[in-house]
Structure 1
Amino acid sequence: MTIFSTFEVPARKGRLITLNRGDEVAVVNTHGGQVVDTWAFPLDEPTEYMSMEHSRVAHYRLTFQPGDTLYTDRWRPILHFVADTSPGIHDTLCPACSEMSYRKFYGCDHRHDNCTDNLREEFARIGRPLGRIPTPWNLFMETVVEQDNLLKDYPSSAAAGDLVRLRAEMDCLFAVSACPQDILVINGAGIAPRGVALRVHRAATVPLQQNQRKSES
């Protein structure tokens, strides 16, 4: 690895960066207890995306472990799960929160910060169209399937400094949202959204592509 960069993601906000094949990114739970909605999109196919459904089938598990590869909806490998220093519970089932979900489930009569809008805003910032919002990989989110097959939400047990490290298997856009959820208990016992960080190790010194220059400005 030849280049190291850190990108701060404020509480309730999103961040999008470009990864070249071989780059590694660590998603760092800076303060502990924060859920991080996580997506990846190939640079060469605007409508393709990292798919939780395809990745679950690839490993025939509801959750992923270090050593697993995550796939797109066209069965192309996009991220490799390198390491995890957290308790290792990361939801793959729940969609990104949205303005409509806050209205439907919590009766919010105003626009609540949400991960769907965070992702859309990041794509708009780099001038790239975004179609559907894929189901994210919800890092550090402890929504689990109980023995009665019901889903149960627990506060994230990720400690300050816990991280998940991933390697890009293709040139891709990598996006996260420090989830703004402040009604359910998922963002730690204090139910208070917190900021996170992305630590990127570049595999080689290469010219940055146009989308990369925009996404890192």
Structure 2
Amino acid sequence: MHMELSHDTAAIVIPAGQGSAFRVRRGDRFRLIDVEGGQVGDLFAFAAADPDEYLSASHTRTSTGRLFPRIGEQFVTNRRRPILTLTADTSPGAHDMLIAACDPARYDALGAPGHASCAGNLRLALSDLAVTTCVVPQPVNVFMDIPVDTDGNLSWLPAPSRPGDAVTFEAVTDCVIVVSACPMDLNPINGERPTSLAVELVEPTT
């Protein structure tokens, strides 16, 4: 699903299990909203000038020294250049940059061949903008709660976000954004019932 965001447009809903792509210019701010609560959003960002440059979770962790940036800190690309800034967060603050996007192979392994996936949503959404990519980058899993214990074990917990909780990003450069309302319903991350997300542009370009 392709979206055209403008300041005259109300928030655009991304249905449960689907994805959307849109373009933002340097200085634009957009808000990702959990409409009903408890829904993970896989967010990807690509440099508009060259989609081979994209938001990299591993490079961002190296840059910030954290598993997820603080408010005011930046996400960087695989070329170590800033692409987005985290500017606001009204949620409980649980987000993830460790878990790969769900894909057909994951659902095959879970006994659900043909299941919708965030990797599939990414490629479909980019095709609406005539953008292609050879990779599925590690997404920014907004609202996803994957705590790491002292032994390095991961837990898959339901997203703690509440209805209307939102995370706001500012584009540091012109970029293409893809958001997938994660379709995972075979583990607890979406409360086993995926729901919709919304996106809105929240501040005029300066």
* Correspondence for 2:77: 72
Q: Distance in 2 between matches of 1:119 and 1:40?
A: 10
CA RMSD of superposed structures (Å): 1.3
8 Å CA contact retained: 1:4, 1:200: no
| Amino acid of the structure 1 residue aligned with 2:204 | A
Is 2:168 aligned against 1:168?
no
Normalised by the length of structure 2, the TM-score is 0.94
1:168-212 per-position Cα deviation (integer Å, ceiling 9, x unaligned): 000000110000000100013xx100001001135338xxxxxxx
| Amino acid of the structure 2 residue aligned with 1:157 | P
1:2-57 per-position Cα deviation (integer Å, ceiling 9, x unaligned): 92532210000001110000000000001000000001001011211000001001
Is 2:19 aligned against 1:18?
no
| Amino acid of the structure 1 residue aligned with 2:57 | M
Q: Please state how far the C-alpha of 1:103 moved relative to its aligned partner.
A: 1.2
8 Å CA contact retained: 2:126, 2:178: no
8 Å CA contact retained: 2:27, 2:170: yes
Q: Please state how far the C-alpha of 1:148 moved relative to its aligned partner.
A: 1.6
1:50-80 per-position Cα deviation (integer Å, ceiling 9, x unaligned): 0000100111111222111110011111000
Is 2:174 aligned against 1:156?
no
Q: Distance in 1 between matches of 2:71 and 2:146?
A: 19
Aligned residues: 200
Tell me the SS of whatever aligns to 1:182: coil
Is 2:90 aligned against 1:85?
yes
| Amino acid of the structure 2 residue aligned with 1:149 | G
Q: Distance in 2 between matches of 1:39 and 1:129?
A: 13
| Amino acid of the structure 2 residue aligned with 1:199 | E
1:95-148 per-position Cα deviation (integer Å, ceiling 9, x unaligned): 1000101112x122x300100000000111121221100000000000121122
Structure 1 segment 114-129 matched on structure 2, within 5 A: 114-129=117-132
| Amino acid of the structure 2 residue aligned with 1:100 | A
Structure 1 ranges of 4+ moved more than 3 A: none
Give identity over the alignment, percent: 37
Normalised by the length of structure 1, the TM-score is 0.89
8 Å CA contact retained: 1:4, 1:201: no
Question: Where does structure 2 lack aligned partners over 5 or more consecutive residues?
Answer: 1-5
Is 2:7 aligned against 1:3?
yes
Q: Distance in 2 between matches of 1:85 and 1:184?
A: 25
* Correspondence for 2:45: 40
Q: Distance in 1 between matches of 2:40 and 2:120?
A: 16
Question: Where does structure 1 lack aligned partners over 5 or more consecutive residues?
Answer: 206-217
Is 2:114 aligned against 1:111?
yes
Pick the aligned partner of 1:140 from 132, 138, 143.
Answer: 143
Q: Distance in 1 between matches of 2:205 and 2:28?
A: 8
Q: Distance in 1 between matches of 2:85 and 2:73?
A: 6
Tell me the SS of whatever aligns to 1:80: strand
Q: Distance in 2 between matches of 1:153 and 1:7?
A: 28
| Amino acid of the structure 2 residue aligned with 1:3 | H
| Amino acid of the structure 2 residue aligned with 1:44 | A
8 Å CA contact retained: 1:102, 1:112: yes
